[in-house]
């Protein structure tokens, strides 16, 4: 991690929700999800917030480092139909060793859809991959 990875880093990410990011597409093999409304799925919204955080800190990581999500505490306050743009705004609030805490919020064209916090942990990609390989046996 570079010494520029400090609290206060902010990033905004925009994304137009396609039909493939709606609830029925979250687990296509699930009959229960298949029958749900076609709105931006909470699972994909979490990934969208993570994407914004990853982009926020990318210039501040050393080669070979990545960050992994370790905790999410997000509300999902409003439904967003496909075709509507969503905007995530993230701010790095704390850096504790390799642990990073972000405040996050997201809006669609009409209203707030998400708010909360997200934690990520910076790891060496090669060491992480080696650990996963050991676990896989």
Residues serving a catalytic function are 42, 50, 76
φ, ψ (nearest 5 deg) of residue 13:
-130, 135
What is the distance between the alpha carbons of residues 20 and 107, in angstroms, rounded to a whole number? 19
Question: Looking at residue 41, what DSSP letter applies?
Answer: -
Rg (CA), the chain: 16
Cβ atoms within 10 A of the Cβ of 11, count?
Answer: 18
């Amino acid at each position: 991690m570079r010494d520029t990875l400090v609290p206060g880093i902010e990033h905004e990410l925009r994304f137009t929700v396609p039909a493939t990011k709606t609830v029925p597409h979250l687990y296509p093999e699930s009959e229960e999800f298949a029958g749900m409304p076609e709105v931006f799925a909470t699972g994909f919204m979490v990934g969208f917030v993570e994407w914004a955080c990853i982009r926020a800190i990318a210039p501040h990581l050393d080669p070979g480092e990545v960050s992994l999500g370790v905790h999410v505490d997000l509300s999902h306050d409003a439904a967003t139909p496909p075709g509507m743009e969503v905007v995530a705004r993230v701010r790095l609030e704390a850096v504790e060793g390799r642990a990073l805490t972000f405040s996050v919020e997201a809006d669609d064209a009409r209203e707030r859809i998400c708010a909360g916090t997200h934690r990520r942990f910076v790891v060496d990609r090669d060491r992480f991959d080696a650990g996963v390989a050991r676990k896989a046996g």
